[in-house]
């Protein structure tokens, strides 16, 4: 029997805000969820909205974001715009009472993120950062194995995310007006990975190579966590890196090969006894592009009446942004759009 007092009922009806690269991937992933359906899309222009709606089977197409946000049939909005728009777009949705899944980075700085979180909590509306790595089955398996002590106490993490993007000063990757740079776009993955296993760092040392547009084309982060564990992390927009992660413990180590944030296999090497042991390979295959798991989390939370995910809590998003603020502070790198911290 459906609960007549419940705020949401299955299927949860999704709207997608923005029609770019990740919006399309997310639309494909929605075809794999339970109790969820793509209903609407909002774009800055009607032709893009119509095209997207036709391609992915959305019944409602709006040529502006306000139309989508005010659609009474939409339950939750996935924000797929550039970093610089996340703050304003999230507040727009929350104001209209819509639940929100917002792309990473959640916004540009801690001041913006804390405001988003405060608004959501005040309005008792669901909000989550789309840190999809957290919901990949292999990552849950990794946590389970580490909690069970398979490699002992974690003492060190190495992880990197780097690829060679074609240089285009006007693209969102390189343009400071769109808060470009490796840190916010992809450095956030190794940082979130380290935070997941070792918590918010106590001390940070970092260096960046700033390119001609003034944003970090590559950067490295050395974190010390409570108890002395270290994370050695890097990200790059003009250098292809291994895109893998290693977790080193007192009794062994775990390798997550390329691409560690969305992997399907990990390898455990035990070093705690003298007899040579074969590495253990753990497989967690999944269909599709992997974005279905974060979408499923949102759906399950809404149907359970939750306003926050336990797996990707809002305090975790604030802490992650605090770490990135500290890192950028060490480089004196700021973006024009981060001055916006109050839209009312």
Ligand X SMILES: NC(=O)c1ccc[n+]([C@@H]2O[C@H](COP(=O)([O-])OP(=O)(O)OC[C@H]3O[C@@H](n4cnc5c(N)ncnc54)[C@H](OP(=O)(O)O)[C@@H]3O)[C@@H](O)[C@H]2O)c1
Q: Are 188 and 312 in contact (CB under 8 A)?
A: no
> Residue ranges of the alpha helices (H) in 44-127?
46-56, 65-69, 83-95, 110-123
Angle at 181 between CA 112 and CA 174, to 5 degrees: 115
Q: Which is nearer to ligand X, 172 or 326 (CB)?
A: 172
Query: What does the binding site for ligand X look like in residue numbers (CB under 6 A)?
Result: 18-23, 43-44, 48, 80-83, 85, 103-104, 130, 132, 172, 185
Taking the complex as a whole, the smallest distance from the CB of residue 132 to ligand X amounts, in Å, to: 5
Burial class (CB in 10 A: 0-12, 13-18, 19+), 259: middle
CB of residue 134 to ligand X, shortest distance in Å: 11
Q: Would you say 81 or 292 has its CB closer to ligand X?
A: 81
The least CB distance from residue 2 to ligand X, in Å, is 32
**Smallest distance from the beta carbon of 261 to ligand X, in angstroms?**
8
CB of 302 to ligand X, least distance (A): 20
- Count, residues in the chain: 344
Nearer to ligand X, 17 or 301 (CB): 17
Residue 114 makes CB contacts below 8 A (sequence gap 6+) with 318
> For residue 269, what are the β-bridge partners?
253
CA 75 remoteness from chain centre = 21
Cβ distance to ligand X smaller for residue 19 or 218: 19
Answer whether 224's CB lies under 8 Å from 201's CB.
yes
Q: Which is nearer to ligand X, 91 or 130 (CB)?
A: 130
Nearer to ligand X, 79 or 268 (CB): 79
Q: What is the layout of strands, in order, in the sheet containing 12-17?
A: 60-62, 36-42, 12-17, 76-79, 99-102, 127-129
**Which residue number is nearest to ligand X in terms of Cβ?**
20
Q: How far is the CB of 259 from ligand X (least distance, A)?
A: 10
């Amino acid at each position: 029997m459906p609960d007549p007092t419940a705020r949401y009922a299955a299927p949860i009806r999704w709207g997608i805000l923005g029609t770019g690269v990740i919006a399309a991937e997310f639309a494909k992933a929605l075809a794999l969820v339970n109790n969820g359906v793509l209903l609407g899309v909002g774009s800055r222009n009607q032709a893009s909205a119509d095209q997207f709606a036709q391609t992915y089977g959305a019944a409602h197409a709006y040529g502006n974001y306000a139309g989508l946000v005010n659609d009474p049939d939409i339950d939750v909005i996935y924000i797929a715009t550039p970093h610089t728009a996340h703050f304003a777009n999230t507040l727009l949705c929350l104001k209209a009472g819509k639940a929100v899944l917002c792309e990473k980075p959640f916004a540009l700085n801690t001041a913006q993120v804390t405001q988003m979180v405060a608004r959501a909590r005040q309005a008792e509306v669901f909000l989550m950062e789309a840190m999809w790595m957290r919901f990949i089955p292999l990552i849950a398996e990794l946590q389970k194995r580490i909690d069970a002590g398979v490699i002992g106490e974690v003492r060190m993490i190495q992880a990197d995310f780097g690829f060679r993007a074609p240089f285009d000063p006007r693209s969102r990757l390189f343009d400071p007006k769109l808060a470009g740079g490796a840190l916010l776009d992809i450095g956030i993955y190794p940082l979130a990975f380290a935070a997941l296993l070792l918590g918010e760092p106590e001390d940070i040392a970092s260096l960046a190579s700033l390119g001609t547009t003034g944003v970090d084309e590559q950067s490295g982060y050395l974190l010390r966590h409570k108890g002395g564990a270290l994370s050695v992390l890097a990200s790059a927009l003009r250098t292809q890196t291994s895109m893998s992660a290693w977790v080193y413990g007192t009794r062994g180590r775990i390798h997550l090969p390329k691409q560690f944030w969305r992997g399907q296999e990990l390898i455990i090497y035990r070093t705690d006894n003298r007899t040579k042991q074969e590495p253990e390979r753990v497989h967690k295959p999944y269909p599709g592009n992997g974005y279905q798991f974060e979408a499923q989390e949102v759906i399950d939370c809404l149907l359970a009446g939750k306003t926050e995910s336990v797996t990707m809590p809002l305090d975790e998003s604030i802490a992650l942004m605090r770490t990135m603020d500290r890192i950028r502070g060490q480089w004196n790198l700021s973006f024009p759009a981060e001055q916006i911290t109050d839209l009312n």
